[in-house]
Chains A and B, each alone.
Chain A
């Protein structure tokens, strides 16, 4: 995946408490595999995936298809890496904010993560999806769907219950986030596009050199 044959480079970032399943979630998404082992992420990491994004016309008609290169940043949930991981927030265009459905504490910490995002992300209201992971472990569930959905509504962001183990909603969640970003992108352009058909920059730094002219060229 080293060629530049794509239309968009979209950078997403997964965040949330340690052990909620960010790495396994991304692994499931990119490789469609599940690794039940817990290996703590050291600082930061990323995975990549190429997807085709179908844009939709204003009336819902199918539009063009674009090749999207996704760079999915994975962050360490551990506190001691915090300064490093939050620094990476500013480069991401969208966020997968994840908690563990079997851990009430990880859910409570969503608020903290949200304020971290507000402080460090590229804008005040970036595109975020809230993910309650480990949905397959229903017998150990500590957070009910109602609670989570209310919180997501409060922030005005979509909520998905996902499972990296079964793959439930994994693709859907990322696609939703991608969709939000693509829409924002279009709006950005429509809003700001004015007459800025600048001419090609041929005024160059060469001028500063003031080279002597030489006539004979043979």
Chain B
């Protein structure tokens, strides 16, 4: 009998050990899923390049991949035996001396091995009935969760019963195919756990710790967890369980850093309501928040109350180059007017970093509800390649006539890691609304595209004559006072605001170097006509300047659209390199100072710089 008791005790430990392993495995899988998502996105982009041009101007005699025209005799191209498209010799990948594929067919094969799809394909041949991608580890975790759910049904239904119910149904159907004996093992373990566990609270905490689902479900479970009294090591939790934010915003490492940063902020500013990790639930359940989680992770809730969730879906329509955001509904919102229990919510979105009105879209206002249904699709005409640099900010506001708007919460989705190819990411999901993150609104930069330049400081020591001079003087200390040249090549710009109906610009760049004595050296590039993404590749030379002068100078670059028929030229955007810390309303990017120093400290080398263009005119 003692032997059996021991065995039971062991099993409890065993369960813990195995679960630990399964969680570690889950991490490995997550990292891999993320990697695969990125791979797919790359392939998508490659394909998109090809198909886009195919649909527009596909000619018989042009390469299907690079659209280079093919000759009848010379450079005729050849048909890829993978996709039967005619491609030029440049767009081929040789596998062996007798076999080649076009770049896209090759990329497809490459994808298949790199994502491990070859393995799933092979396995599906042997086990056609089973889930193609799900691993045993994932299944075990899932079924474990299901079993623990059965054993601890809370007396009152938890919030979000609707989704929980759906999940359980799904899990049951999936676990049917699952290995019976393993299930039994875990059933016995789960029962075991039930015996050992003292209170329901403990069970709840455990269960939420043992979740495999992530995304919005995770957030929901966290809510329950935060209600429990059981002390769980907060740091552990952050590390082991991904938050929605983490899952959305890409790589794991980044996110850990992100979370850490947030935690740090919460420590530094105790009154800050910022918390990414456990900021959910909110007012309705405010009283249920345990002291524990409030202190460690959430900060002060008094200042802003953000509750509820928003349901939306994002997709990109490649045919029309349109980003579509469909806002479906919100639920559980906080009241805009707390005392009067009033709320007239609407949703507003921006495609950050552009905070201008061009990037703003709004839904209609719904009256007197904290559970508004919107069903509105907001659209952006935007190049697919640009999405990488953007973040979708979806905020919910309370609107009241003649009164200022009240912020009800927001969600920020970085589009760089969004998989627009995968259909599953296009479906509607609920997202927890969060408190405002980052800087106050007026500090946000206006985004008017990007300007690419490379700069080089040429110092006389490079030329023979000056080297000689320097030797004569016997030192390098004069270098700072020696005349130099600042070379700046304006390479090109992209994502410029295009207003004209044709979608093109007649753009040029003005450069102005302001020396410490307020003397200005001005330069101007030629006008590039009818280009939305101009590539000037124009060299500015600022002559007769010393490094010491430059250290206190600033360089302004502005992009203009040349007017036709004598009207005023239109200003498109500006950027500044300056040794000073950014000041004033717009001023240079924080990295501007670093870039400027980099140029000055590494003379005679080209430094590449990408500026974000700002729309403000005043200096």
| Chain A residues packing against B (C-beta within 8 Å) | 2-4, 6-9, 42-46, 48, 58, 69, 71, 83-84, 87-88, 90-91, 93, 122-124, 185-186, 188-190, 192-197, 199-206, 209, 211-214, 216-218
Contact = CB atoms under 8 A, between A and B. Distances in A.
B357 A218 contact: yes
B47 interface: yes
Given A43-B14, A123-B125, A6 B35 contact: yes
Contact of A214 (B21, B105, B137, B364): B364
Contacts of B252: 2-4
B313 A4 contact: no
Given A83-B179, A188-B121, A204-B423, A197 B104 contact: yes
A161 to B, nearest CB: 29
B382 interface: no
B166 interface: no
B28 A88 contact: no
A122 B377 CA distance: 44
A48 B328 CA distance: 43
A199 B47 contact: yes
A83 B182 contact: yes
B608 interface: no
Nearest to A213: B377
B113 A8 contact: yes
B116 A43 contact: no
Interface string B215-256: 000000000000000000000000000000000000111001
A185 B361 CA distance: 48
A202 B31 contact: no
B370 interface: no
Contacts of A8: 113-114, 116
Interface string B327-342: 0100000000000000
Nearest to A187: B118
B485 to A, nearest CB: 41
B118 A185 contact: yes
A136 to B, nearest CB: 29
Interface string B18-54: 1001001101100110110010000010011001000
B360 interface: yes
B114 A200 contact: no
Contacts of B47: 197, 199-200
A4 B251 contact: yes
A42 B18 contact: yes
Closest 10 CB pairs of A and B: A4-B35, A83-B181, A122-B123, A204-B426, A188-B118, A189-B109, A211-B377, A205-B427, A42-B17, A43-B18
Nearest to B40: A200
A90 B136 contact: yes
A126 to B, nearest CB: 9
A206 B362 contact: no
B35 A123 contact: no
Interface stretch (B288-296, B314-322, B494-502, B581-589): B314-322
Contacts of A90: 123, 127, 130, 136
B84 interface: yes
B108 A193 contact: yes
B122 A122 contact: yes
A170 to B, nearest CB: 22
Contacts of B367: none
A193 B82 contact: yes
Interface of B: 13-14, 17-18, 21, 24-25, 27-28, 31-32, 34-35, 38, 44, 47-48, 51, 82-84, 95-97, 101, 104-105, 108-109, 112-114, 116, 118-119, 121-123, 125-127, 130, 135-137, 140, 179, 181-182, 185, 251-253, 256, 313, 315-319, 324, 326, 328, 357, 360-364, 375-378, 420-423, 426-428
Given A46-B25, A87-B182, A195-B84, 10 more contacts: A9-B28, A43-B18, A189-B112, A197-B105, A199-B51, A200-B420, A202-B319, A204-B423, A205-B426, A217-B362
Contacts of A195: 82-84, 105
Q: Which of B119, B315, B364 has the most CB of A within 10 A?
A: B119
B45 to A, nearest CB: 9
Contacts of A43: 14, 17-18, 21
Given A84-B185, A202-B315, A211 B125 contact: no
A7 B251 contact: no
Contacts of B48: 200
B102 to A, nearest CB: 9
17 contacts: A4-B35, A9-B32, A45-B21, A46-B25, A58-B96, A84-B185, A91-B137, A123-B125, A195-B84, A200-B48, A205-B313, A205-B423, A206-B324, A211-B326, A214-B364, A217-B360, A217-B378
Nearest to B82: A195
Nearest to B111: A189
Contact of B251 (A3, A42, A214, A216): A3
A48 B28 contact: yes
Given A83-B181, A201-B421, A188 B112 contact: yes
Contacts of B182: 83-84, 87
B535 to A, nearest CB: 28
Contact of A201 (B109, B256, B422): B422
Contacts of B422: 201
A8 B35 CA distance: 10
Contacts of B140: 87
A48 B21 CA distance: 12
A2 B253 contact: yes
Contact of A91 (B112, B135, B319): B135
Nearest to B122: A123
A209 B375 contact: yes
Contacts of A194: 82
B85 to A, nearest CB: 8
A204 B317 CA distance: 9
B108 A209 contact: no
Contacts of A213: 377
A90 B137 CA distance: 11
Given A43-B18, A206-B326, A212 B376 contact: yes
Contacts of B125: 123
Given A90-B123, A189-B113, A201 B28 contact: no
Nearest to A3: B253
Given A199-B51, A202-B318, A209-B375, A186 B82 contact: no
A192 to B, nearest CB: 7
Contact of A44 (B21, B361, B362): B21
Given A195-B84, A201-B421, A211-B326, A206 B96 contact: no
Contacts of A123: 122-123, 125-126
B393 to A, nearest CB: 15
A18 B376 CA distance: 61
A216 to B, nearest CB: 8
A83 B319 CA distance: 51
